[in-house]
Structure 1
C-alpha cells in the first residue's frame, strides 16, 4: 500500500510502543500521549476537508485543528500540550517515511495557538538545570551508542552532542556560531576561531565586531572528541557542518569542477560511487574542500528533533528547547550565582541590558529582602 494513501490512524499503536520505554512514568506518559493523539484523529475523521489519509495532510489541516483546540474551554498550556503531542506523532510518521514533512510545525499551522503575553522577563524560554541535564544525558548516550555501533562513522551524533553542550554552557547566540543565509559575514563558527587550549571561541557578535567568548569546562570534552572524529581538513572548516546529503554532493561537485578542473562526466562517474554522508565528508576532506555550516534554521531543526527523540516537551510557543533558550538559561545561572556584571561579560551584553532582561530575579530577591526588613522592623 502506498504510504501516502494510508490512514493517519494506522501507525498509532506502533508509535505508542516506540514511546513506551518501560520507565517509572512511561505508563502515564503513554496514556497522555494516546489521549492527545486520539483527540486529533477523531477530529480528523470528522473534518469535512479531509479523508483521514497522509496524502491529505497539509499545514492547513493543522491550522484548522489548532483553531479547534483554541475554541474549547482549555487553558493555554493545555492547548499547547495537546498540539505538541500531535506534532510529536506526525514527526515520528515523517521519520518512518509516511509523510514528507511535519506540517504541524509550519508557521501557518501554529499561528492560531495561544502565546504568552511576554510582559514579564521570566516568561521567555530559559533552559533550566533539569533541561540541561536531560538533553545532555540524551546526547551523551546517543553519541556513545553510535560510536559503539559505527565507530568513526558516528560524526553526526558527536556534532549534535557538541552543539548541545555549546548552547547549554556558553551563553552564545545562535547567530554567532551558525550560518545566516541573510548575512554573508555570518558563515558559521570555524575551527580557526576555536582554541580548545585557551577555552575560547572568536565570534562575530551581534554588534558586528569580533568578540572572544568562553568555552566552559563542560563543553571541552564534547568538542575535543568531536573534533578528533571529524578530523577537519583545515581551520576554515565549520565547527558545525551540515550533513544534508544533497548540499554535500553539490559542494563536492562544485569543488571538483572549479578547483580540481574535473569534467562533468568524470565528476558524475566519481560521485555515483559514493554512498552516505561519511563517504562524501571523507572525499571533501581528501580534496581539501570545505562543507557549508548549518544555518540557524538547521540548528532549530536539530534541537527540535533531539527533543522529540528525548521526549522533552515544553509548554511554550516553541514546544522544544529552542537555541536561544540555552543562552537565556546560562544568563539565569550567572545572574543568580555570580551577579549581573559577570553575566553581562559571559553574554557579551551591557549590564543595563542584562538587568532589564533578568529583572524577575532581582525583583524576587528584593521581595525577600524587603520582607525580612519589615519583619525585623515590626518585631
Structure 2
C-alpha cells in the first residue's frame, strides 16, 4: 500500500477542493445533480481544510472522514438553530455524496482506498427516525409580533422605554424582513464563523426592482423577493439611519465591543482611545457611532445569534405562545411560514421561487404535511 506522500506525488498535490471541482466538472452530468452535490462537497472540503488541517486529498484517512461524520451529527443535534440544523436524512445524504466522491478519487488514483468505506468513518452518523422539529409563524403570531415591534418604536420615540429609537426601528425592520422575504437568517445577518456572511448591506437592496441580493445556502449570490410590505418599513428605516455609504449594514449591531474593535482595526487604537477620553458628556456608544460615520467605517452587522436572542425577547414581551416545537418565534419559522402560505394557496412553484429551492421536489418535501392535510380533506369531501 502506498504512503500518503506517495499518493500526494501521484495526484500532483491535488487539494480536496480541486478534486471536488474536477469531480463535479467531469463526472457529474448537468441533470441537476451537480447543483445538488456542490454545496455538501464544498462543505466537506472546507471542513477538511479549516477543522482538520487536511489540504491534500491524498492525505485523507478514515479518521478524517469520521470527524466529518461527527460534524454532521452535531448539526443534526442542534436544538436552537433551525437555520444550521440538518435533518438526519440530509446528513446521511451528504455522507453518501462524500463517499461517492472519494470512490471517484480512488479511480483517479488520488487515493489507495476509499476512507469513507469503513465502520469507523460511518458510525457517528445519526439514524433518521423521520421526525422533524418544526415551526411555522402563524398569521396571528406574525401580526402580533409586528404590532408589538411597531408599538415598541412608538414607545422608544416617546422615551417611555429604555430602548432607543434607532434600535427599536432596526428591530421592527428585522421582524418585517424575516416575515416578508423568506430569506434565511444566515443570508441577512452576520455569521462570525463565515467571512462570506458579513450581513446584508444597503448595496444589496434594490428598492426599484423589489429584490435583495443574498449569499445563499448554495454559497452563490441569489436574488430574493422584496415585497412592498417590507419595502415600506425598510424605506422608513433607511431614512432614519441615513447610512453614509451603501456598504453600511442594513442591520448594524448594537454591541459596543464589536463596534470598538472594528474602529481600532481600521482607524487606530490611539484615535479611538483619544476620542473616548475626550468625549465630555457624550456617551461611549455615541462617540463610537460618530467615529464610524466620520471615517465611513461600516460597523459590523448584528449577528444571527443576536437576532435569535432578540426574537426570544420579543416573543416573550409580546405575550406570544407559538405552536410547534419551540417556545419562541424562530428565524426559520418565518421562512417556513411564507412558503406555507404560498404552497397552501396552490402556488407551489411560487413557493419554490420565493424560498429558492433547487427543485420543486424539495418544496413538496418541505410541505408534505400540507399535502397530506389536503388529501385528508379530499377523502372527507368525496365520502360526504
TM-score bracket, shorter-length normalisation: 0.5 to 0.7
Task: From the superposition, tell whether residues 292 and 271 of structure 1 become closer, same or farther in structure 2 (CA, over 3 Å).
Answer: farther
Contact conserved, 1:253 with 1:267, CA < 8 A, in 2?
Answer: no
Say if 2:134 and 2:325, in contact at 8 Å, map to a contact too.
no
Aligned-partner SS, 1:201: strand
TM-score, normalised via structure 1 length: 0.62
Which residue of structure 1 aligns with residue 376 of structure 2?
Answer: 367
User: What is the DSSP-based 3-state SS (H/G/I as helix, E as strand, rest coil) of the residue aligned with 1:237?
Assistant: coil
The counterpart of 1:336, out of the listed 334, 344, 348, is 344
Contact 1:239 1:293 in 2 (8 A): yes
SS at match of 1:203: strand
Are residues 1:358 and 2:367 paired?
Answer: yes
Can you list the C-alpha shifts for 1:152-176, whole angstroms capped at 9, x where unaligned?
Answer: x611000000000011111111011
> Structure 2 CA distance, aligned partners of 1:254 and 1:233?
19
Q: CA RMSD in A?
A: 2.5
| 8 A contact 1:196–1:220 mirrored in 2 | yes
Match of 1:161 in 2: 172
- How many pairs align? 254
Question: SS of 1:180's equivalent?
Answer: coil
Secondary structure of the residue aligned to 1:207 is coil
Q: 1:268 to 1:345 in 2, by over 3 A?
A: same
Matches within 5 A, 1:243-322: 243-257=254-268, 266-270=274-278, 274-275=282-283, 277-314=285-322, 316-322=324-330
State the SS of the aligned residue for 1:301: helix
**Alpha-carbon deviations, 1:299-331, whole Å to 9, x = none?**
101111111211223365531101110001111
What's the CA shift for 1:283? 2.9
When residues 124 and 333 of structure 1 are mapped into structure 2, their CA distance, relative to the original with a 3 A threshold, is same
TM-fit CA distance, 1:145? 2.3
Q: 1:184 to 1:135 in 2, by over 3 A?
A: same
Q: Tell me what 1:31 maps to.
A: none
Corresponding residue for residue 147 of structure 1: 157
Change in 2 beyond 3 A, CA 1:265/1:347: closer
Q: Is the 8 A contact 1:118 1:124 kept in 2?
A: no
Match of 2:113 in 1: none
Aligned 8 A contact 2:279 2:287 in 1:
no
Matched residues in 2 for 1:313 and 1:265: separation? Answer: 45
Specify the alignment match of 1:72 in structure 2: none
Higher relative contact order (CA 8 A, sep 6+): 1
1:95-127 per-residue CA deviation (whole Å, 9 max, x = no partner) reads xxxxxxxxxxxxxxxxxxxxxx98466x61000
Match of 2:102 in 1: none
CA distance in 2, matches of 1:272, 1:244: 21
Change in Cα spacing, 1:303 to 1:337, as seen in structure 2 (3 Å) is same
Task: State the match for 1:42 in structure 2.
Answer: none
1:1-379 aligned within 5 A: 119=130, 124-149=134-159, 154-257=165-268, 266-270=274-278, 274-275=282-283, 277-314=285-322, 316-349=324-357, 350-375=359-384
Distance in 2, Cα, partners of 1:248 & 1:215: 28
Structure-2 separation of matches of 1:364 and 1:140: 35
Does the CA-based 8 Å contact 1:202-1:210 persist in structure 2? yes
- Given that 1:190 and 1:236 are in contact with CA atoms closer than 8 Å, whether structure 2 keeps it comes out as yes
Q: Partners in 1 of 2:173 and 2:140 — Cα distance?
A: 18
Q: Aligned partners of 2:232, 2:179: CA distance in 1, in Å?
A: 14
Unmatched 5+ stretches in structure 2: 1-127
Q: Is the 8 A contact 1:146 1:157 kept in 2?
A: yes
- Superposition TM-score, scaled by structure 2 size: 0.61
Kindly indicate whether the alpha-carbon contact (under 8 Å) linking 1:274 and 1:280 is maintained by their aligned counterparts in 2.
no
The SS at the match of 1:156 is helix
- The change in CA–CA distance for 1:244 and 1:358 in structure 2 (over 3 A counts) is same
Distance in 1 separating the partners of 2:284 and 2:157: 17
Q: Which runs of 5+ in 1 are unaligned?
A: 1-116
CA contact (8 A) 1:256 1:267 kept: no
